[in-house]
Amino acid sequence: MRAMPLSAGGKRSLREFLGELVWRRFFADVGLEEPEVATYVSGMLADFAHIDNLYRIRNAQGKRLEDVGEMLVESNPLLDASSFDREREVRKHVGDYTLFMTGLFPESVARGRQSRKPRLEAFVDFLQAGKESYAIVSSFDQFEYKDEAPLFRRLSETFELCVVGLNLVKQDLQQLQRESYQRLEQVLGEVAE
């Protein structure tokens, strides 16, 4: 695995920290030796650390879309999408969102299907929607999108492996959180003595 460099001052940015976790899990544990895919996924994780990026897709009325089913309707040029560029933008987000949710919050995806308040996404297979969305993005392989198309094709083809890798990243994050909490308890215990 390639070591990620530290930024100035010896501190890692969130992007670098997540990059290290993703690279380790994707390469060593899942066997997904795809540097561009790992770099893309770690960048997506860092971007989605900001809730505004997680829910950046809005419909024509400006309403923030939080439901994958509504996002898919928004992406369809025969329904709500205003252009093929809009289709690509929304489909890219659907791929990212479904990868993020199934990789880090699969219990939330499962819980959403059992909600008393039905949502359109209750009828959406997140894995299939993610793979299909990345495949559609990869079909935009001309002009300004030409260089990115192969990356999205690989994301579509390796979607399930990426989900498994992110499940392992989630375990790492939970372990680090437990360790930080235990250190804090220990420090507070020493201060109280």
Q: How far is CA 97 from the centre of its chain?
A: 5
Query: 154: pLDDT confidence band, cut at 50, 70 and 90?
Result: very high
Question: Going by C-beta distance under 8 Å and a sequence separation of 6 or more, which residues neighbour residue 158?
Answer: 32, 34, 37
pLDDT of residue 161: 97
- The span from the CA of 19 to the CA of 41, in Å, is 8
- The span from the CA of 19 to the CA of 35, in Å, is 11
**Residue 193 in this model has a pLDDT that exceeds 80:** no
- Nearest Cα neighbor of 97 from 63, 136, 129 is 129
pLDDT of residue 152: 98
Average pLDDT over residues 46-51: 95
Average pLDDT over residues 169-176: 95
Query: 7: pLDDT confidence band, cut at 50, 70 and 90?
Result: very low
pLDDT of residue 191: 63
Q: How far is CA 147 from the centre of its chain?
A: 21
Q: 58-78, pLDDT tens digit by residue?
A: 998 999 999 999 999 999 988
Average pLDDT over residues 2-20: 70
pTM score of the predicted model = 0.87
Maximum distance among all alpha carbons in the chain? 68
pLDDT of residue 11: 74
Q: 136-150, pLDDT tens digit by residue?
A: 999 999 999 999 999
